[in-house]
Amino acid sequence: MNMRDCPDLLEITPSAGVERVRHGWRAKCLQRLVRMDLPVPRSFAIPAAAVQTIAAGRSGGLPGLSALFETGDGLVSVRPSAVMPDWGGPGTVLNVGINDATHARLAGRIGRGNADAIYLSFVQSYAINIARLDPDMFAQEGDGALAHALRLYHDEMDEDFPQDPARQLAEVLRSMARAWDGPSARLLRQAKGAPADAPLGLVVQDMALALGPGLSGSGTIQFVDPVTGTPRVTGRFRGQHHGAAVGSGAETLYLTCDERGTSLEDVAPDIFADLVRFGVAARERLREEMQIEFVLTDGRISIIDAVRLQRSSRASVRIAVALARDGIIPRTEAVMRVEPRALADLLHHQVDPRSPRDVIARGINASPGAATGRIVFSAAAAQAAAAREEACILVRRETVPEDIRGMHASVAVLTERGGTTSHAAVIARGLGKPCIVGASGIGIDGRARTLHAGARLLREGDEITIDGSSGEVLAGAAALLDPALDEAFTQLLDWADAAGGIGVRANADTPEDARTARRFSAQGIGLCRTEHMFFDADRLPAMREMIFADKPADRKLALDRILPMQRRDFIELFEIMAGLPVTIRLFDPPLHEFLPHDREGLRELAESLDLPLSDVTRRVEALSEFNPMLGMRGVRLGITVPEIYDMQARAIFEATVEASRKGAPVVPEIMVPLVSAMREVELVKTRVDAVAAAVRNERRSDFTYRLGVMVETPRAALRAGDIAAHATFLSFGTNDLTQMTYGLSRDDAGRFMGIYVGQGVYAEDPFHFLDNEGVGELLLVGARRARQQRPGITIAVCGEHGGNPESIDFCAEAQFDYVSCSPFRVPVARLAAAQSAINSRLRDKT
């Protein structure tokens, strides 16, 4: 064809100036296939600028289109070609150009039935998508359907079905260009990260006929399993079939002998071998694992399209590592190709995407992974089920610290209330158990022990599956995939670590957490929340005695009973971490959390303390606060009840001496929570220094320690300069800092967060995604002021945001020293840290 006739049609030849930004990914991909000498039918790219002109109706129908139909069978297909494959686009239209004359010609060559099927499918598609006629009218198939459809078209449109191929094509192009501009297409692509005004190119390609004599049909072939990522050729070949056009003698074949049924490999081994050869070459040339779409015309192969293989998280890791190992992409590119969040899926069981899903409720996906178990409504029932070795799922309105043991005993947790940083969410993430919170559509009746989920009524003992990755509750036992902590996973993370980047530590409270942190190569513990250590059955009574003690001496006596247990906790943590830094946060929660809340619990407490019930009740009431999260907690307790911090400091130092004697020297990091004024730090530091001096003296052993401050009140961030005078490190507790900056309860916000995000009040849930503009500014201001006062001071983040790739990028940009997150989040954070470092180096280069 003479290209001067139609300057907007660029033939895709090896040397044509096809550009992804102008012509889209599909056009560029086809050019690569053409350059490889693969049998690609003649193809043309229409640039995005021309598509826009077409959409605006200013193209005059693109002059010169008729030249496209002068060769071959005179039929073409049109496919969308956006800049990124994920951005989608209008559906492909096949067989443009068919008219009475072509139909007659084709009937002679490929048989009347096949020619009818091709013509009919185009008339149907044109009538419905371009003339916008009622689809039901054009549903007829079989004998006489073509004549019927042409007659109907004439009756409805008052004209014959368009016979001019150029007019047909111009109308198809216009309809596709307009569809891309429509509001629903915009929303869809925006959801995939495309800008609202993303450009669209189109590709026009000669049709390779899949209907006709010999082995003819269309199919797809792929070379790895899209779910597991293991090398395996799979696909489908549909004989006498292409798009909606189904010819006589249609038959579906599998691609390989390994699959069930007859395969293309059996029927046509040479064709199969060629397809595999093309696939291997395409993988190398396109530097990607592809799915190839092909047509066989009487045994002749045409490669009509190739798309990046859709893949699961686990497959994405294996594919990236295999491409780098085969020398097709560099290791840093493999690191960049895997979405960090995808790694969270690999650490846990997942619902098999190939299995059916019976969704009965939805909530916030608070902790990833999937588990099946029987419903229990109380921590006690969970423990009883665990004792029977029965998998159970703890279903609660919300969880409280007393539920911890129940959470340990269950395989997953579901709560009606709460958000991403509520108790259930934080603890479940720490335990690595799937969890859904804020499932506001469910109704729990604790007494009747029933759960309403939409129209379903479930009882204690009924089986459900929690998909904590998607936030969906499924009825019954879903098919699960095992975790994929395989060699590819380890390899990818080793490459990620080699790329450098911000440090990654783990929030670890227990020896089990610490072991998980080591297993995932965390560089230390960035936050050990010590209060969990007080909830154990053998410690709670002493804790309660301490709370009820009137005099400091009695308080100390009770705490002395806890001291050896705390010391053991810390020795174990230090031993597991083997010289890596361990940051221990001093006691943080309000004391009220350690007291019983119901009458029965109060009675038992009165009995154990040998006090009248009224005394106990009065004392408990006196301790209750209107706003406990803003009340007597954190350093405020440390100053008003200093014996607690004294005991903890002693336990830490004695454990330091002990652990250093046996293994690597320990330099403990002690962190003071909820600070809002410099004087608080000064007071605590004076006492902790005194305890250190005493332990050094008693044990005749020297050690050092680092005292740091947890910055989780806005005032601490603003006053970070003078606070830094007494601290060797600052760690931003972004959970509380977000709560206090917004004045938004982290435990209750889940109730309306959906509405707030839906209406655009907040772009995202700020407990999930760090609010860079507000809370983030406090981080930057705090870090700057602290560094001015004490250059070289260590700056970190240890709130839940520490495991979030976007926040990690923010912290890395601000040159923080490390982030600390749930142990199971560490792999995600390591990959995100590497990607941030690689991106930053790339930016520096350009």
Interface positions with ligand PEP (CB under 6 A): 527, 529, 588, 712, 733-736, 798-799
The answer to whether residue 532 is catalytic is: no
> Judged by CB under 5 A, does residue 643 bind Mg ion?
no
Instruction: Work out the number of other CB atoms within 10 angstroms of the CB of residue 843.
Output: 9
> Judged by CB under 5 A, does residue 634 bind Mg ion?
no
CB of 340 or CB of 733, closer to Mg ion: 733
Q: Based on the number of CB atoms within 10 Å of its own CB, is 578 exposed (0-12), middle (13-18) or buried (19 or more)?
A: exposed
Q: What is the DSSP letter of 263?
A: B
CB of 746 to ligand PEP, least distance (A): 8
Partner whose binding site includes residue 734, from Mg ion, ligand PEP, none (CB under 5 to 8 Å by kind):
ligand PEP
> Judged by CB under 5 A, does residue 288 bind Mg ion?
no
> Judged by CB under 5 A, does residue 589 bind Mg ion?
no
CB of 593 to ligand PEP, least distance (A): 12
Partner whose binding site includes residue 654, from ligand PEP, Mg ion, none (CB under 5 to 8 Å by kind):
none
CB of 65 or CB of 427, closer to ligand PEP: 427
d(CA 12, CA 28): 9
CB of 733 to ligand PEP, least distance (A): 3
> Judged by CB under 5 A, does residue 590 bind Mg ion?
no
CB of 239 or CB of 419, closer to ligand PEP: 419
Partner whose binding site includes residue 529, from Mg ion, ligand PEP, none (CB under 5 to 8 Å by kind):
ligand PEP
Sign of the dihedral defined by the CA atoms of residues 534, 537, 539, 541, in that order: positive
Look at strands 480-481 and 231-242 and give their pairing: unpaired
Structure tokens at 64: 């010169």
Helix axes of 25-35 and 269-286: crossing angle, nearest 10 degrees: 120
- The residues near 638 (Cβ < 8 Å, ≥ 6 apart) are 586, 587, 644, 645, 672, 680, 684
The answer to whether residue 798 is catalytic is: yes
d(CA 359, CA 476): 10
Of 396, 402, 388, 341, the closest CA to residue 804 belongs to: 341
Task: Kindly indicate which of the ranges 4-12, 317-325, 593-601, 727-735 contains the residues binding Mg ion, using the contact rule CB under 5 A.
Answer: 727-735
Build a one-symbol-per-residue string for 653-692: x at contacts with Mg ion by CB under 5 A, - elsewhere.
----------------------------------------
Q: Which residue of 736, 765, 809, 817 would you call a contact of Mg ion, by CB under 5 A? A: 736
CB of 798 to ligand PEP, least distance (A): 5
- Show the CA angle centred on residue 431, arms to residues 428 and 434, nearest 5°: 50
CB of 648 or CB of 734, closer to ligand PEP: 734
Partner whose binding site includes residue 827, from Mg ion, ligand PEP, none (CB under 5 to 8 Å by kind):
none
d(CA 625, CA 694): 36
Task: Kindly indicate which of the ranges 140-148, 264-272, 424-432, 732-740 contains the residues binding Mg ion, using the contact rule CB under 5 A.
Answer: 732-740
Partner whose binding site includes residue 799, from ligand PEP, Mg ion, none (CB under 5 to 8 Å by kind):
ligand PEP
CB of 727 to ligand PEP, least distance (A): 16
> Judged by CB under 5 A, does residue 638 bind Mg ion?
no
Q: In angstroms, how far is CA 39 from the centroid of its own chain?
A: 38
CB 726 within 8 A of CB 707: yes
CB of 524 or CB of 733, closer to Mg ion: 733
- Show the CA angle centred on residue 259, arms to residues 37 and 309, nearest 5°: 45
- The residues near 451 (Cβ < 8 Å, ≥ 6 apart) are 375, 377, 395, 442, 443, 444, 445, 457, 458, 459, 462
Of 740, 622, 623, 625, the closest CA to residue 673 belongs to: 740
d(CA 282, CA 308): 11
DSSP letters for 26-54 = HHHHHHHHHHTT--PPPEEEE-HHHHHHH
CB 370 within 8 A of CB 349: yes
List the beta strands (DSSP E) in 120-206: 200-206
CB of 304 to ligand PEP, least distance (A): 53
Q: With left for phi above 0 and alpha for psi between -120 and 50, is residue 449 left, alpha or beta? A: left
Partner whose binding site includes residue 471, from Mg ion, ligand PEP, none (CB under 5 to 8 Å by kind):
none
Of 845, 676, 822, 742, the closest CA to residue 366 belongs to: 822
CB of 657 or CB of 821, closer to ligand PEP: 821
Contacts with Mg ion by CB under 5 A: the residue count is 3
Task: Kindly indicate which of the ranges 284-292, 384-392, 716-724, 731-739 contains the residues binding Mg ion, using the contact rule CB under 5 A.
Answer: 731-739
Of 277, 269, 271, the closest CA to residue 301 belongs to: 271
Residues found in the chain: 846
> Judged by CB under 5 A, does residue 265 bind Mg ion?
no
Partner whose binding site includes residue 340, from ligand PEP, Mg ion, none (CB under 5 to 8 Å by kind):
none
CB of 114 or CB of 676, closer to ligand PEP: 676
CB of 527 to ligand PEP, least distance (A): 6
Structure tokens at 104: 């007659």
Structure tokens at 82: 């956006």
Torsion, CA 701, CA 702, CA 703, CA 709, rounded to 10: 110
List the beta strands (DSSP E) in 213-358: 217-224, 231-242, 245-254, 290-297, 300-308, 350-351
CB 444 within 8 A of CB 399: no
Partner whose binding site includes residue 798, from Mg ion, ligand PEP, none (CB under 5 to 8 Å by kind):
ligand PEP
CB of 771 to ligand PEP, least distance (A): 13
d(CA 84, CA 306): 14
CB of 488 or CB of 711, closer to Mg ion: 711
CB of 152 or CB of 770, closer to ligand PEP: 770
Of 57, 56, 70, 60, the closest CA to residue 1 belongs to: 70
CB of 510 to Mg ion, least distance (A): 18
Q: In angstroms, how far is CA 607 from the centroid of its own chain?
A: 50
CB of 162 or CB of 673, closer to ligand PEP: 673
CB of 735 to Mg ion, least distance (A): 5
d(CA 254, CA 239): 11
Which residues in the 687-716 window bind Mg ion by CB under 5 A? Answer: 712
CB of 568 to Mg ion, least distance (A): 25
CB of 281 or CB of 639, closer to Mg ion: 639
Helix axes of 552-577 and 642-662: crossing angle, nearest 10 degrees: 30
Task: Kindly indicate which of the ranges 323-331, 407-415, 730-738, 780-788 contains the residues binding Mg ion, using the contact rule CB under 5 A.
Answer: 730-738
CB of 546 to ligand PEP, least distance (A): 21
CB of 199 or CB of 733, closer to Mg ion: 733
Sign of the dihedral defined by the CA atoms of residues 226, 227, 232, 234, in that order: negative
CB 416 within 8 A of CB 440: yes
CB of 348 to ligand PEP, least distance (A): 22
Q: Which residue of 733, 750, 802, 827 would you call a contact of Mg ion, by CB under 5 A? A: 733
Q: Which of 6, 392, 528, 798 is catalytic?
A: 798
Q: Which of 349, 423, 592, 801 is catalytic?
A: 423
> Judged by CB under 5 A, does residue 226 bind Mg ion?
no
Look at strands 463-467 and 472-475 and give their pairing: antiparallel
Partner whose binding site includes residue 804, from Mg ion, ligand PEP, none (CB under 5 to 8 Å by kind):
none
CB of 111 or CB of 733, closer to Mg ion: 733
Q: Where in the sequence numbering do the catalytic residues fall?
A: 423, 798
Kindly list the residues in this chain that would bind Mg ion in the complex (CB under 5 A): 712, 733, 736
